[in-house]
Structure 1
């Protein structure tokens, strides 16, 4: 029993150390000097039945100090008041041409781009919201300082309101880690693509890559669009959105949360570098090993083993909390029960593999999407 406990402790410590290198850092947009000339920007928002989520985004755009932009909302066959709410904020509302069985978001983005007047295009998901009145200026200024080439994509900071939304904690970490560039050796790996909720690019470069029209059949348009830019030797930068842009994911309930993450993970792991994937698997495994070591020590009534396994469990809880709170404002106390978060993640990931490999389809917003 003592040998078994020792092995569990060693494996748990190794997984904990792997986690440090797996998620080394998450850079964010830095401040921009107060006087910098920026071009006219077209902000394109694909939206399907978003009447309960699009209001904060449109309001935050209305509050921006930088005003040289237009807002185009592409209504993707909504059956609610999405279009009416967008029009009430002065946005130009377009109707998506996508057929019901197609990839609606990509078609909506393409339609918006064709009607855009701006030199730069910014694609925003309807559930995002800019953090303050200077957020847009800081994002645009940062893009210009980086050379205004390729894609700047931001993963918004996840804001949590209800208890069940904390179940997304591990998913957020894995999505960011899976982009390949946030580990200790990220500069050596090619990014998996771009983050989808916030994408900024030059219009001429966008059309030169084929844009969203080229990736109409892709389930994860963000990864595919990033790859389309890289195919043209254009850079793709991925960063955290803390301080400039945030979102609230799946406020409709647990069913929406499960369907959303199932869709994302059904094919997303294919773009993750094998080394990053291995580190991720080891880190996830370590969460269960550390919990198992604690339970084993309790059962064996071994004071030394109990103390060491408790320290390992606490360290894993702390690391998981720190990683998750880089991505969103998840409740700190929830990480006392971190094995449950990992268990939920593992179950949904297994379900997504079943949908992708066996059923060959996923469901999202009342649409059946072939994968």
Structure 2
């Protein structure tokens, strides 16, 4: 009976490892520098940055924008009712600052800020950037726009920035980052045969005409996950939505203000975001998580009751989980190498936060973010 339990556990772990490979099989990125043909430098870009209490986090982005070469753009910072020096900092980098008023009933703050920025924008293309992002190189914006134009300049090209880790506690975001990308549906071997769950919120590039056709942020004014909702709005108009990795082109540092902010941020996101993941991808994610949990349990049980064969086999399976976790995580951010060996603790943390997020979303119907209560 004990051996049968070991066999079942091993099968679950192997299925989990296979699911991890399949859910994140491919990760397209914009064209490399040598592959980009700079055929159109005349397109004017409006970069719209919604910012609420971002006086420290927005500086790397503004610095990186000041270094961009080869393309014309304007920078519009929407000060979303900040209580700090966000406006002054943005102005010091020659950004155009628009002070947004508190959102009206039915609006979520970020969507209202993005809409305000879009109405003031002069560019043919609109690039919505989160304040905690930053471009990696002086030609990053040019590469981004050229990649979009190579895709016929239609719909959305959204990049998930590479997560820059600086403090130990930030490694707690590892599982979330993996699942955010896998949950977009488009990184399996099926590719774009599965419809994208939406777009990545930190970086969304589109053209003005398509934005207007989709209804823009006004059409999704009440959505907590505006990025997913905006992508769905584009898709409802038969406009393509492409999601790529941004490594080497754009980065971000999530929740640098401490663990409490990290917890609040992920709690806000996940209860709603999970609704958009395709059932096939959700199955893969669940199998991956289950296998990840079962592996340390099998290791412990074989250590107490197993034969040398089963102990060795359980160790090998655990090491395979560690290796796969490192492979997946390092595609999304520069997570510390030592964290992979204790990945079960991060799975526990993810599960607790996810359950709490479901409670806030479906029972309390309210989440908190940056001093605001958001009804969902």
Instruction: Give yes or no for TM over 0.5.
Output: yes
Partner of 1:302: 307
Q: Work out the CA distance in 1 between the residues paired with 2:104 and 2:256.
A: 24
- 2:263 is aligned, of 258, 267, 281, to 258
User: C-alpha deviations, 1:151-181, integer Å up to 9, x for none?
Assistant: 0000000000000100101000101111111
In structure 2, list runs of 5 or more residues that go unmatched: none
Q: Work out the CA distance in 2 between the residues paired with 1:50 and 1:302.
A: 57
Partner of 2:291: 286
Aligned length in residues: 371
Secondary structure in 2 aligned to 1:326?
A: coil
Partner of 1:87: 91
- More displaced 10-residue stretch of structure 1: 293-302 or 209-218: 293-302
TM-score by length of 1: 0.98
CA shift for structure 1 position 17: 1.2
Partner of 1:339: 344
User: C-alpha deviations, 1:78-119, integer Å up to 9, x for none?
Assistant: 000110000000000001134276411101011001011111
Q: Work out the CA distance in 1 between the residues paired with 2:12 and 2:282.
A: 18
Partner of 2:355: 350
- 1:35 is aligned, of 38, 52, 55, to 38
2:228 corresponds to 1:227: no
TM-score by length of 2: 0.97
| Residues 36, 147 of structure 2: 8 Å contact kept | no
CA shift for structure 1 position 67: 4.1
2:16 corresponds to 1:15: yes
- 1:136 is aligned, of 138, 141, 147, to 141
- 2:82 is aligned, of 69, 78, 82, to 78
| Residues 179, 272 of structure 1: 8 Å contact kept | yes
Q: Work out the CA distance in 2 between the residues paired with 1:195 and 1:148.
A: 18
2:270 corresponds to 1:270: no
1:39-54 maps to which residues of 2 (within 5 A)?
A: 39-54=43-58
- More displaced 10-residue stretch of structure 1: 90-99 or 267-276: 90-99
2:180 corresponds to 1:175: yes
User: C-alpha deviations, 1:193-215, integer Å up to 9, x for none?
Assistant: 11110000111111121100111
CA shift for structure 1 position 187: 2.5
Q: Work out the CA distance in 1 between the residues paired with 2:265 and 2:13.
A: 31
| Residues 97, 107 of structure 1: 8 Å contact kept | no
Partner of 1:64: 68
